[in-house]
Chains A and B, each alone.
Chain A
């Protein structure tokens, strides 16, 4: 799970040699076993209903983001309409839920398969003409198809239910070993099971020859064509597989929320998954998982604290694109080399000297924003606000001045020690301290 995707495909063998499958060793399986145990244990650590709801949402977002990364990270296809495949899968699952006779004979855990197959079906159709090219043309077609289907949702009322969407009841299904999925916790285990299964399948897909070729086509389609592979069909298979897993995520969404609306199809949702995946990091398989966890936490926890959380997320996203194109996973994996060389200790001091002022700067800037926002948009006559457990008058100049000074001072200090950090990092990631 922690293995980086190979950025460059190995040089082609001159004689056709069948690649031997990597043996399943304990080291390979360990992340998966730990992940599974972690998923089993989570509900015992966080027992409240709201925490379980957040975890369900997280699991669904992880599957969706992993499926998106099959396109963006592994296949180099930027899609602005991936929500559509998740959406239609979810819509179909709700229809099955409402189809009493059939649903009564079907255990609920099977339901996402139908969502997946339906998502895959749509991907087959759209992929047949959209995967001819990657890059901008693919992005544009995905945008057009996405907008088209989202707009259709208010026209084709029979399937999409118009503006109010459609809703169902998951508990009418055939009881699964006596479980009727009345409780959130039961849904959690169902979702967790599908999360493990689909994550494993997607990981294995990325290790198959077709998954490897997707990387090759992403990096150099021309060369892949010269090797005798059709870039278009390689993209097509990735696209269809991504549609399948998006449909699975949609089915789980239907089970979890029991309602789907136009919102599940539109550009905002498609854009959000791009944001999630990119924040997590597109270069590594586990990147989108980190992104989904981080984003869901921001979405649920931060949005309770502040009204302008989306502004922060936007700034974070732009900063990631500009300065850390590898995302969170990329930043973490930058430290693999220093750790392997046993020189990570060199980094601790410079990190503290730079990151502490940087955090102060961020908090100061955020406080200043909060105060300004309160100043502009609070109800008339309301001038008291609470920030970091301190209650003060937002109309007084002092708090704003403190926040601004903290932001500027933090920025200045971080900026001053940044070169030292870069140097320390360079030293730590080269053997013999870069002297050689």
Chain B
């Protein structure tokens, strides 16, 4: 007995709590692009060799680990990122076209036709930029930018050449050029571009512009993108973490800290990630209708038809239903309905006088719902008060006014069946649907059928009322 009482107590306490769940956040998907190193001096541009750096791999790993720890973030691995880019329908076609243009540009450059070379190289960049080839093959695009820069130098367009070299070095900062391979003006322009880039790195957008970064995020269905950069600062090497969000107009994170021992850097990376996770705005997952409220009130117009009745034609009644519900769980509620009906004339006027009936229905409601709709079923107990009425099939009992000479002369008592006030009880099954047209308001449509089994002598001649209901309600 005590055990049952305990279970009931737990259920009573737990049900309302379950209905009060905090809305769920939509997880954000983030990705990290490989670390780019700008920490070598520009004098190394024309030196051979390239040092490998495990630090770059470590920074990527720390970032990935810290982001993965965040409950509301999902890290998209680089392989998946690449396949999302290369899996686009126009990717292969544009790569082929872009490469063809590059080859043509190269041919024209060799033939000393710089103007033609430039237009083909620009077109190649346009095609490849459009499919974010610089994310997948940054070195290939850097090569095109480099050739464009060289072409522009030879055309005497130093300013444009500077931008092309700068972009080339931003794409592939590890590029090295054999000393003396390029003419002296080109080497000089490359060095200037490198120095300029190193000074402006803190302001550079790794993918060119914020808009382009936003477009990439949208195309790849990402919420944020992290760019780790290693740069040469005033006081030595610095790690810069830059992050962009899909709809952001600027970088959401641009954090620079000196390269210290690995533990200290790791700690700083972790803090940046925690701050990002805490400050970035999250969208709530839209709650389903059933999660939005605990109380419901509705009013409906109803038509009722008794399938079993004492007259020869369908006996209809019209009325109103007032309902209240309390949700104990997302898809479970207790519902009470109070309905008032007034009978309508039947086709043959067998119902000599109209009657009013009132019924109370109480039961559990089980529902399934979407964002703006709910389907529900209520199996309930019904208590029905029915007013008195009388019926007759004798036309004389209908035509002549009661107590008139005509009535007394032609309508014997035996021709009239009288039904006194009665209470009946039974079960009701309601199936309904609600359509939410505003946050808390809904349109309600439904149908129900009842059967009465009390009084048990089955003397009652009216049974199986079928109703159709339409109305509206409010939830809160």
Indicate whether A and B interact. Answer: no
**A interface residues with partner B (beta carbon < 8 Å):** none
- B interface residues, Cβ below 8 angstroms from A: none
